[in-house]
Structure 1
Amino acid sequence: MKADNPIGIFDSGVGGTSIWKEIHQLLPNEHTLYLADSKNAPYGNRSAEEISALSVKNTEKLLEMGAKIIVVACNTATTNAISLLRKNYDIPFIGIEPAIKPAALQSKTGKIGILATRGTLSSALFSQTSDTFTKDISVVEVIGEGLVPLIENGDFDNPELDKLLQKYIKPMIAANVDYLVLGCSHYPYLIPKLSKILPEHIKIIDSGIAVAKQTKFLLEKHDLIRKEISTPKLQFYSNTGIGTLKYLLGEFDNIEIETMDF
């Protein structure tokens, strides 16, 4: 694998662009390839077998397109399929898990909230991570049912979105949590709304920066950091419409957004 090859990233749709932004900020010189598998979103309501099959499909496509490293920018795909991917492909993989550890370590009230998809919360890897770091911590787990489709459609002004967030956050506030862990890469796009609902003492935590740092670490470890300083190619592909991608990435120049069947 050559250092000039792109970083490959996939998600069950547009949410992983929140992870891409952190990676691009930390590694602005790197080519990137992003697959938004919006046709099959949300992964969170699918079986473990389906999630694994979709993750394999996306990985095969990224390898075919020359990815030198793959970021699984989806909590559900990571918690259900990353061990299978690492076993079957000879390429570094970076996963994304809910940031339970920092929340648990920093909590003063001993209570944290986790907003995630059903597929993440029911996975073995999530259960293992949660058990490891929350022995003396009370955890309020809430499934963010219906949030991903609204984000996929770019429906940020839909009153239904505010109604759902109020409903999901209520039990966390009642339980006196002081950290809210976002367990889905789509959810950072809800931070402006969440900040208005949450009391000031509740801190929101997600995994984006940690994933970017791990990507940099692995690229350095495998001597895959791109040395050339020419403008990097930033390519995004969706297997449905590209309207929401364009909306979420509107601040960036030099990006290519296209539809592609995969």
Structure 2
Amino acid sequence: MPIDRAVPTGNLLLAALSATDRALIVPHLEHLSYAKGSTVFEAGDEVTHITFPCEQTVVALVVATRDGRTAETVTIGHDGAVGGIVGPGRMPASANALVQVGGPTLRLHADRLLEATVRSASLRDLFARYADCFLAQLVQTAACNALHPIEQRCLRWLLTLQDRLGGDILPITHEVLAAMLGVQRTYLTRILRTLQDQGLIQVGRGRITVVDRAAVSAAACECHGRVRLHCETVLGAVYGPAAHVARAEALPATG
């Protein structure tokens, strides 16, 4: 069902649109909610839609090997979109898009985005800048997975998730986090225990709490900070401090 163009989206990328560009996009958006653990698309699927996670919804692009192992390559929340962003859309997906934190999304057919970008140079520029940030995260994650120890990779992933949720309590299980990092659950449990003993996190049932964000950032590798700085430089209006304040004001109260 198409949404009213006056309804807040809960997505920073869409919220950054000018009124003129919003008129080209918003009438074609559709509401779609995903449960935690569901799939937006699978590797090999023709990607016909762009999905914009809203509020606290988080989607990860995950590569699965033929021996059953998995690893996260990009994590997308209210800051962006998944599917048909880097390419022109309607291309086979190279990874599985899995919902890590369930919630609302907005969906746009790839043909509608193509039509809108043909009509608007500013819209083309915005999505080109986002594609650059998307690729920056992809490239940095590849380097991180190859070069950094599991403890730093784990902290980098937790910081990335925290950015997209906006709170200290992360609703993530050991099993899911192990799948994102490409390690065995038992091994990850030992790593989390070590990080908890260091006072960085608190591990609970179905959740991990970031106890000290500054300490976690200091203990993590430089990958998270490097991607965040790049994105704020390229898309300052979307990812800058003012955007985060606007998002916090728009989120529903909890507690």
Q: Same fold (TM over 0.5)?
A: no
Which structure exhibits the higher relative contact order, with contacts defined as CA atoms closer than 8 Å and separated by 6 or more residues?
1
